[in-house]
Structure 1
Amino acid sequence: RLGFPPRTAAMPAFRQVGEKQLPQEVVFMAWSPKRDLIALANRAGEVLLHRLANFQRVWSLPPNENTGKEVTALAWRPDGKILAFGLTDTKRIILCDVEKPESLHSFSVDSSITYMHWMEVTEESSVLTSFYNAEDESNLLLPKLPALPKKIMFVCIIICFTVLIITFFYFYRLNALVLGGSCGFIEIYAYGMFKIATVTGVAGACRGLCLSSDLKSLSVITEIRDSSDSEAEITYFQLDTSLLSSYLPEVTRMARKFTHISTLLQYIKLSLTCMCEAWEEILMQMDSRLTKFVQEKNTTTSVQDEFMQLLLWGKASLELQALLMNQLTVKGLKKLGQSIESSYSSIQKLVISHLQSGSEALLYHLSELKGMALWKQKYESLGLGASGIEEAITAVGSFILKANELLQVIDSSMKNFKAFFRWLYVGKLDDTVSTQYMTQKDITFVADFLTEHFNEAPELYNRKGKYFNVERVGQYLKDEDDDLVSPPNTEGNQWFNFLKNTTHLKESPLLFPYYPEKSLHFVKRQMEGVIDQCLQKPADVIGKSVHQAFCMSLYKTSQSEDSTPQLFKLPFLWNDKTSNIHYVLFTMLEDSISKIYILRRHTDTSRSVSNGILAVEFGNFLSNSVNETSDSRCYSCLDAHFYDDETVTVVLKESMEQEGKERVLAQLPLSSVYIDEDQDRELVWGSTKRLDEQSGEIPTCTVVLENQWRVLENMKAQYVSVNGIRKVSCVLSSNLRHVRVFEMDVEDDGEAEEEEEEETTQIAAGEPDELNQSADNQDNVCGASAEELPDETEEHESSLDP
C-alpha cells in the first residue's frame, strides 16, 4: 500500500462536499462565476446544472431536434445568469437561462464550435463610466413594449422573451462571447447576441482562446494538422485587437444599439408567430366548402350568380340548398362567425399593440444608429456607414406600411363576414330573406361583398387547388414566397395615382416603398435581411483590423493520443485582469520529466514581459509515504487550471511503474515560481524551431508543495475545473463518470483536532492503523448517497470502500 501523511491542523482540508457517479460520460464542465453552480455536458448531448451542496441537480436540458445532440463547448456569462453552449451537429449557439432549462436566444454559425470564452470588459474611462451611469433615453421616449398574449403554447416563449429583455437590456457593462471553431473560425459577439468581429488569418482548429479584459489582444491556441494521419502541431497566436480598445466607448454604445435592434427583431418575430396562432384553420372552411361545391355541382350557373339569386329573389338551387342546409348549418354558421370575429380581433390587437410598437422602436434605434454613423470621426473606423442604415430604415418603413395594409384588410373582412353570416343566418331561419332583419343598406353591402369575393378563379387551381379566396387575412401570415392570391385593389386610389404621375417622388428617401403583391412574412424577411447586411459591415471592418502580433509553435502531439476533443486538456489560457498578462499553461507530451510550462505575454502586444516562459517541476512532497525514499517520486501533470490570478490548481500523478499510483489535487502558488520577478529571463527563440525543440534552454523551477495538496484516494483523477471566486473545484476521473467536489479554502473547523484526539485514543486502546485509514476515507465520501457510489467491480478508481 502506498501511504500518505496524516492530516494535520496546519494542512488545508480541501474539504470534500460532494461525490457522484454519473450515468453518462462528462465531456465538458464549467463553474458559474457568481454562484455555487456547475454546468456539465455529457456524451448524450444533455446539458445539466448541479449545485455545490451534495452535487444536487438543479435542472437538465435534453437534446432535441431544434437544438442539437452533440455539445462541443460551454461558457458562462460573467454575471452567471446565462449559460452558452455550442452544438456541432446543427452549428448553433444556445443561450440558456440559469433559472430554467429554456433557450433565451440562439443563432447559427458557419463552423462547428470547439471552444468559447465569455469575458467582461474591466477597462474604465470617464466617458465610459458616464455612459454606464446615464439612463437609456429610449426608455423615456418610447412606450413600453406590451407583453405577448399568454396563450398556453406560448407561455415558454413569453417567459423567455421577458428574461431576454431583463438580462440583456439591463446588463449594461460590455461583455463579449468569443467563439472558436475549426479551420481558423473566430467570431466575437457583443453581449452574446450580436456579432461585432469576424477574425481571419488564424490557421488550424481552435483549442483555446482568451480575449483580454482591456480588449488589447486575443490569445488563441490552435491545432494544425496537415492530414488526418499526421501529427498535430499546437501553436500559440497573439492577435492585436487594439481597435476595440481604442474605441471602447464607441464599441460599447454601438453594441448596445445592436443588441436593442436584435432583441426587437426577436420581439417582432414572436408577435408574428402569435398572430399566426390566432389565425385558425377554421377561417379556411368557407373557401374549402365553396371549392368543393363548385367542383360537384351540375349547373352551369356561377357560384356568385347563385348567391346573388338567393340574395335578390330568395331562391336557391338544389345544390346551394344542400350546401346551406347540410354543411353550413345554423349552429355551424354561429360557430364560424364567432371564430372569425375572435380571430380577427386578436390579430388586429397584435398588429396595433405589438407589431407597430416594435416597428416604431426599431425605427427609433436605427435612426439613432444613423446619427452615430454620421459622426465619422468616432464611428467610421468601426465600419458604421449611414447608407446601409438608411436602407434598413426604409425596409422597416415598408414593413410598417404592410402592417397597416393588413389592418385595413382585417377591418374590411370583419365587416363583410359579419354582414354575410347575418344574412345567411336570417335566410336559414325564414327560408327567404326577411327585411325585418336586413335593411336595404345591409343587402347592398352583402351584394358588394359577393361581387368582389365570390368570383370563381380557375387560374388559382394550380396554386394548391384553390378556386376561392373569400378569406383574405391568412394570405398575409403565410411564410411563403408566393405573391398574395388576392392583393388589395389600388385602382382609383388618389395617392397612388399622384405618385404614379409624379416621377421625381419615386426615388425620394422620404417615401417608403410599397409591395402590394407581397405578404407580411415576405416583407419581414426582407427587412431582416437588409438589417443583417447593414450591421454585418462593422463585424467585417473590425475583424480585418485584427492582425497577428506574435506566433509560437509549441509542440507536436503524439499520434497515439486520444483524439476525442476535451475541454479540460492542456494547454489552458488565463487572463490576469490586474496585471494585464496572458498566461498559457501546457505540457509537452514528449517531455519525459513531466514539467508544466508557463508562457506569459503582455496583453499590450507592444510590450514585453519578464520571465516570458518558465518550466515547473514538482519535487517530492509525499515524503512521509511508507517504504518510499525522498527521491523516488516524481510527478506528471494531468490537468491544470488557474484558480485565481495567483494560484494554479493541478492534478498530479506519480510517474512510477508500480500499481496504485496516487493522484494528487494541489494548489501551486505562482509566488513560489516567480521568485526573481525583476530578473529578466526573456530568451531569444529561434523562429524556425518549435518550442519543444528548444526546451533545454527554458529556465526550470522546482517546487516542493508544503500543505496545499490532498491525495485523491480511490479515484483515478484526470481533469479538474475550478472557481477561485467561489473557492471550489470539481475533479473528474479518467472514465469521465466519477466526480468529486471540494471546497478549497475551508479549514476543517476543529475537525483536525478531533481526529488527532481520536487517533491518540485509538492508539492507546491498541486499535490497528487501518481504522485511522478507514475514518479518513469515510470523510472522503461525504455528500454521496449509497446508491450514487460507484460499482466496486470497476477499476481501482471506482472503489470507495476503504
Structure 2
Amino acid sequence: MSMKLIGNRNNPNCIQEMQWSNKMDLIALVNDTGEVTINRFKWDMPIKILPPEEKIAVKSISWRMDERIIGIAYNNQLINLVDIESKEVIISYSVNADVTKICWTQNSIDIDSNEKSILDDHVFLASLPSINSTISSGTKKSDYNSTRFYSNTGLNFLIVICNDCTIRAYIYGVLSCGSIDVKKKLNVNESDSLNIIEAKMSSNFERFFVVYVKNGILGTLVFENSALLKRHVALWKLSIKYGMILNIFEYMDDTIEHINEAWESVLLEMDNKLSKYAKKQEAGSISADFLELLLFGYPSEELENFLTHEMTVRELKKLSNSVEMSYSTIQKLVVKPLHSAIISIFYHVNNLHGMHQNAYEYKNLLGENSSEALISTGSFLIKSHELQQIIDKSMRDFKIFFRWLYIAISRLMDDTVPDDAGVITQQEVNYLAEFLYNFEENRKELVHDESGEKEIKFNLERVGQYLTNQNLTIPSIDNTSNIWNEIFTQNECLQTSKLIYPHNKDSSLIQEKNKMEKSIKDLFNRLEHSIGQEYNLKNDFIISHSDDIASSTIVTSHIIDGENQDAINLFTILLSEKDLLLLVYYSNTYIPKIAKLQFTNRDECNILSVGQLSFIDIKFYNTRLLSGLIKNEIGNKIQTCFIQVPVSRLIDELLEYDQKTIPTFNMYNYIDDCNFKVIEGFAGNLMAVSGSRKVAAFLASNQKIVKLYELEVDEDDECDEENSNNASFEIEMKM
C-alpha cells in the first residue's frame, strides 16, 4: 500500500491533543499555551481560539456532532462552547470542580418537528437591540438572539468527567441534568485511590458506561437511567429555554458593563472638587452656603473663593456637557437594551411558569414552585423603572444646577450673563432648592486606620449606587404621595397578593438582578437532583488487578456500532505498550465481553520485515476498523508504523468465548502487507483518525511536527482472499 503526505506542519508550541471533525476537513490541535488551533488540510487560515486568561491550560476538547461547536475545558474549572465560524463563545460556565475530560454523546433520538415549534415561540418578542459600542474587555457576542447552542442533529449531551470522581451531563452542553458521584456509588473511603478514566453514554441515553481504576483495580461500571429517554422531549424544551435565558443574561451583563463605563465619567471631576472644598468645611455648612447663595445672591467667603478659583465658566460648560452626554447614554441603555432584555426574560419565565402547570411533564423536573422566579423578575423590572426615574430626575437637577452655577459665577466675576443662559423658573428654583438641601446626604467621612486622618468624600451622583451589589445609600424617589402607593398601603390583601410584584426600595439594580438570576437558575437546578437520583448502578465488573495499573497512563477509545436500540458499544483500553483490551457491550447485557490484544508470537506474522511490535496509540477508525500507531523494533532500528485491524473479525472470534473468559488474541495474526505501513523517517507519539473523512494525523515524539494523510478505504480489496471475515483495505494518500 502506498502513502502520500497531504500536509506537514512544524508547530512552534508543543501539541497535547488532536481531534478530527467527522463532517468537515478540520483538525483541532491543543497547544501547551492554552490555545486551540483549528486547521484545514493545507493549514491555510487557521482558526485560533485563545484561552480566557493568561497561563490557563486546556484539559480537554470535544467536537459536537454537527461540528459547528467545539467544547473546550480549561484547568480553571471553566467550560466554553465556541462557534468555530465566528470564534464566539456561545456559552461559558464553571463546573466548580477540576475537569479531566469532556466528550459529546452520539445519539439515535431526534425531536419531532412539531415539538421544535418552541424554537419560534419567541417571535412575539422583538429581537434584542444591538449594543453599539464595543466593550474593551474580552470577546463578546455579536448576536445574542441566536440559538447556535442548539444542534439540529437531535438531542445530545456533553459529558464532563471531574477529578472529584463525579460525572456530569449537560444537554447541548448548556443545561445540567444530573450527575453521578462514583465515589458514593462505590462506597469509596477517603484512603482509597479512585480515578475515572472514561465515561460514555449509550445512543439512546439509557446507559452510562464508566471505566475506572481503584487501588490498582481496573473495572467498568454500567449505570441505567430511563428518565432521560422518557423525558427527552421535556428536557429538550427546557434546555432550549435555558439557553435562550443564558443568552439574555449575558446580554444584560454586557449592557450593564456599558452603563458602568458611561457612569464612570459622570461628575468625577465635580465630585473631586467638591470633596476638596468639603474637607475644609464643617458638616452641614455646604448645603447652607449654597442655599444662602440661591436665596440672597451672596455667597460666603469660602464659597466665593471656591467658585472663583476652583471653578471656571469654561470648566463648568465642559463638565455640564460631559454629564449630560453620560446621562443620555445611560438613559438610552436603560430604556432600550436593558428594558428589552428584562421583558424577554419575563416572557420566558412566564412561559416556564405555564409549563410548570403541566405536572406530569415538568413538575418533577422543575420542582414544586416556579412563582419565585416570576416574582423576582417582576421586582427587577420595577427596579429598572425606578432607575429610569432617577436618571430623569438627575438629568433635570444637574441641568438646572449647572445653569445656575454658570450665572452665579459670571456675576461673581463681574461678567455679563449671556442671553443663552436662560431664565430659571420658579418651579426650577424649587427643584434646585431641594437638590441643594440634600447636599449633606452626599458627604461621607472616611477615617484612615493608620494615620487617623479623616477623608471627606463628596458624591452628588445618584445613579452609581444602583450599579453596586449593596443596598442603596441614598433613598430612592419618594412615592408616598402616589395614589397607587396610598391604595397599596391601605389594603392588606394587595400587599399579600402574589399577582403584585414587590418593590424593594432599599435594593440596588444589581441586587435585584442577582436575585432574579439566582431564582431562575435554582428553578433549573432541580434537574440536577430529579435526573441524578435516577441513575442506578447495574454492574461493577473488575477486569484486572495489578499494582502497575495505578501508575500507568491509560488511553481509551470508544465507538457505537449502530444507532438503534440494539447498538453495540465498543471500547479499547490501552494499558501499556504491550497490553490492549477490547470491551464489547451488547444492548441486552450489563457485563462486557473482553479480549486482550497483544503482539505475542511473531512467527505467525505474514510480513517478513516486521520485528517486535508494540502499541503507541489506538483509535477507532470507524465501526469496522481499529487504527493503531505501532512501534516496530528490528534490532537497533525503530520504526513507526500504521495499521488497520478489522473489528468484525475480533468480535466474531470473541463470540466463541463466554463472558467469564478473557482470551488473548495475537495481533500478529491480524496484520499483513495490505493493512500495515511504515511511516518512514518519523517517530510518532499520538494519532487522530476519522473514518467518515478518511483522514489520519500523526504527531511526532517532539510534539511539534504533525503529518496529515488522506485515507481511502477500498472495501473490495481482495488482499486476503482466503478469509472473507478479514475486512482488508488499501490506503492511498492523495494530494
Instruction: Please state which band the TM-score falls in when normalised by the shorter chain.
Output: 0.7 to 0.9
Match for residue 304 of structure 2 among 313, 318, 321: 321
Matched, 1:70 2:51: no
For the structure 1 residues 706 and 674, does the alpha-carbon distance in structure 2 shift closer, same or farther, using more than 3 Å as the test? farther
**Preserved CA contact (<8 Å) 2:18 2:688:** yes
Decide whether the 8 Å contact of 1:309 with 1:315 is kept in 2. yes
Q: Distance in 1 between matches of 2:94 and 2:662?
A: 42
2:620 maps to 1:642: yes
Match of 2:367 in 1: 385
Please give the secondary structure, in 1, of the residue aligned with 2:255: helix
- Report the equivalent of 2:198: 208
Instruction: State the secondary structure of the residue aligned to 1:69.
Output: coil
Number of the residue aligned with 2:727: none
Once the two structures are superposed, residues 644-683 of structure 1 have per-residue CA deviations (whole angstroms, 9 ceiling, x without a partner) of: 12221111223x5722122211222223333469xx5462
1:683 corresponding residue in structure 2 = 658
1:738 is matched with which residue: 684, 699, 705?
A: 705
Query: In 2, distance between residues paired with 1:449 and 1:435?
Result: 26
Output aligned runs, 1:48-67, within 5 Å. 48-53=37-42, 55-56=43-44, 58-63=46-51, 65=53
Match 2:691 to one of 695, 699, 724: 724
Q: Structure 1: state its 5+ residue gaps.
A: 1-10, 226-231, 686-693, 748-778, 784-802
- TM-fit CA distance, 1:166: 4.7
Paired position in structure 1 for 2:287 = 304
- Asked if the contact 1:614–1:701 (Cα under 8 Å) also holds between the matched residues in 2, the reply is no
Provide closer, same or farther for how the CA distance between residues 465 and 175 of structure 1 changes in structure 2, counting only shifts above 3 A: farther
Q: Residues 364 and 254 from structure 1, CA distance in 2 versus in 1: closer, same or farther, beyond 3 angstroms?
A: same
Please tell me the residue identity of whatever aligns with 1:177: L
Distance across 1 between alignment mates of 2:134 and 2:625: 52
Amino acid at match of 2:305: A
Q: Residue 344 in 1 paired to residue 327 in 2?
A: yes
Aligned residue in 1 for 2:718? none
The structure 2 residue matched to 1:252, chosen from 236, 241, 244, is 236
Deviations 1:697-717 (A, max 9, x none): 889994234413321112222
Could you tell me how far apart the structure 1 residues matched to 2:643 and 2:510 are?
59
Amino acid at match of 2:140: I
Percent identical:
25
Q: 2:251 aligns with which of 253, 267, 271?
A: 267
Equivalent residue, structure 1, for 2:502: 513
Once the two structures are superposed, the pairs formed by residues 276-287 of structure 1 within 5 Å of their partners are: 276-287=260-271
Relative distance call for 1:487 and 1:148 in structure 2 (3 A) is same
TM-fit CA distance, 1:22: 2.8
Kept in 2: contact 1:583–1:599 (CA 8 A): yes
| Cα displacement (A) at 1:496 | 3.2
Structure 1 counterpart SS, 2:16? strand
1:115 aligns with 2:101: yes
Partner of 1:81: 68
Counterpart-to-counterpart distance in 1, 2:623 and 2:677: 21
Amino acid at match of 2:27: I
Tell me, yes or no, if structure 1 residue 601 matches structure 2 residue 588. no
Quick one: structure 1 residues 523 and 577, their matched pair in 2 at CA, closer, same or farther if it must change by over 3 Å?
A: farther
Query: Aligned-pair distance for 1:562?
Result: 6.9
Residues 175, 330 of structure 1: alpha-carbon distance in 2 compared, 3 angstrom cutoff: farther
For residues 67-466 of structure 1, the aligned pairs below 5 Å read: 69-88=56-75, 90-99=76-85, 101-124=87-110, 128-132=112-116, 134=117, 136-151=119-134, 153=136, 156-159=139-142, 161-162=143-144, 165-168=146-149, 171=152, 173-201=154-182, 204-225=194-215, 232-297=216-281, 302-381=285-364, 383-387=365-369, 389-431=370-412, 437-441=422-426, 443-455=428-440, 461=446
Q: State the secondary structure of the residue aligned to 1:141.
A: coil
Counterparts of 2:457 and 2:137, CA distance in 1: 34
Q: Deviations over 1:213-261 (max 9, x none)?
A: 2212122222334xxxxxx433222221321012221211121112122
Question: d(CA) in 1 for partners of 2:278 and 2:561?
Answer: 77
Q: Which moved more, 1:101-110 or 1:536-545?
A: 101-110
Q: 1:347 to 1:416 in 2, by over 3 A?
A: same
Distance 1:322 1:651, change over 3 A: same
CA distance in 2, matches of 1:660, 1:699: 23
Between the two structures, name the one with larger relative contact order (CA 8 Å, sep ≥ 6). 1
Structure 1 residues 222 and 328: alpha-carbon distance in aligned structure 2, compared to 1, 3 A threshold: farther
Number of residue pairs matched by the alignment: 696
Q: Secondary structure at the match of 2:123?
A: helix
Residues 668, 705 of structure 1: 8 Å contact kept: no
What code does the residue aligned with 1:450 have? F
How has the CA–CA distance of structure 1 residues 338 and 576 changed in structure 2, closer, same or farther, with 3 Å as cutoff? farther
Q: Which residue of 2 aligns with 1:582?
A: 569
364-373 or 446-455: bigger deviation:
446-455
CA distance in 2, matches of 1:25, 1:658: 30
> How far is 1:47 from its partner?
2.3
Cα distance, 1:43 vs structure 2: 2.6
What secondary structure is seen at the aligned counterpart in 2 of 1:536?
helix
Partner Cα separation in structure 2 for residue 651 and residue 301 of structure 1: 83
Counterpart Cα distance in 2 of 1:490 and 1:233: 70
Residue of structure 1 equivalent to 2:635: 658
After superposition, the Cα gap between the structure-2 partners of 1:488 and 1:455, relative to the gap in structure 1 and judged at 3 Å, is same
Residue 641 of structure 1: CA displacement? 0.9
- Separation of aligned partners in 1, 2:25 and 2:546: 35
- Residue 472 of structure 1, CA deviation: 0.5
Query: Matched residues in 1 for 2:502 and 2:7: separation?
Result: 64
Aligned to 1:33: 22
Q: State the alpha-carbon separation in 1 of the partners of residues 535 and 333 from structure 2.
A: 44
Structure 1 length as normaliser, TM-score? 0.79
Match of 1:614 among 584, 589, 595: 595
Q: Distance in 2 between matches of 1:527 and 1:288?
A: 35
Using the alignment, how far apart are the partners of 1:145 and 1:331 within structure 2?
40
**Structure 1 residue 556: Cα displacement:** 4.6
Q: In the aligned structure 1, how far is the partner of 2:517 from the partner of 2:400?
A: 39
Q: Which residue of 1 aligns with 2:13?
A: 24
Deviations 1:357-414 (A, max 9, x none): 1111112112222222221222234x22251x21111111111111010000001111
Secondary structure of the equivalent of 2:91? strand
Partner of 1:477: 467
Secondary structure of the structure 2 residue equivalent to 1:538: helix
Corresponding letter in the other structure for 1:411 = D
Query: How far 1:502 moved relative to its partner?
Result: 2.3
Distance 1:476 1:329 in 2: 31
Which position in structure 2 is the counterpart of 1:572?
Answer: 557
1:533 deviation in Å?
1.5
Conserved? CA contact 2:200–2:209, under 8 Å: yes
Aligned counterpart for 2:484 among listed residues 475, 495, 519: 495
The more displaced of 494-503 and 351-360 is 494-503
Rounded to whole Å, the distance in 1 between the matches of 2:442 and 2:326 is: 26
Which structure 2 segments of 5+ residues have no match? 187-193, 449-453, 715-731
Q: TM-score, with normalisation over the residues of structure 2?
A: 0.86
CA distance in 1, matches of 2:233, 2:284: 73
Matches of 1:192 and 1:186, distance apart in 2:
13
Report what 1:774 is aligned to: none
SS at match of 1:281: coil
1: CA distance, partners of 2:667 / 2:87: 47
The DSSP-based 3-state class of the residue aligned with 2:104 is strand
Q: For the residues of structure 1 that align with 2:650 and 2:386, how far apart are their CA atoms?
A: 72
Contact kept, 8 Å, 1:63 with 1:69, in 2: the verdict is: yes
Query: What SS does the aligned partner of 1:153 have?
Result: coil
Query: Conserved in 1, the CA contact under 8 Å of 2:346 and 2:377?
Result: yes
Bigger drift between 710-719 and 611-620 goes to 611-620
Which digits, 9 at most, give the CA deviation of each residue in 1:5-28, with x for residues without a partner? xxxxxx3x3432122333332222
Task: State whether residues 302 and 456 of structure 1, in contact with CA within 8 Å, keep that contact through their aligned partners in structure 2.
Answer: no
Note the alpha carbon deviations across 1:317-350, whole angstroms, 9 max, x for none: 3322232233332222122111211111221121
- In the alignment, is the contact (CA less than 8 A) between 2:618 and 2:628 conserved in 1? yes
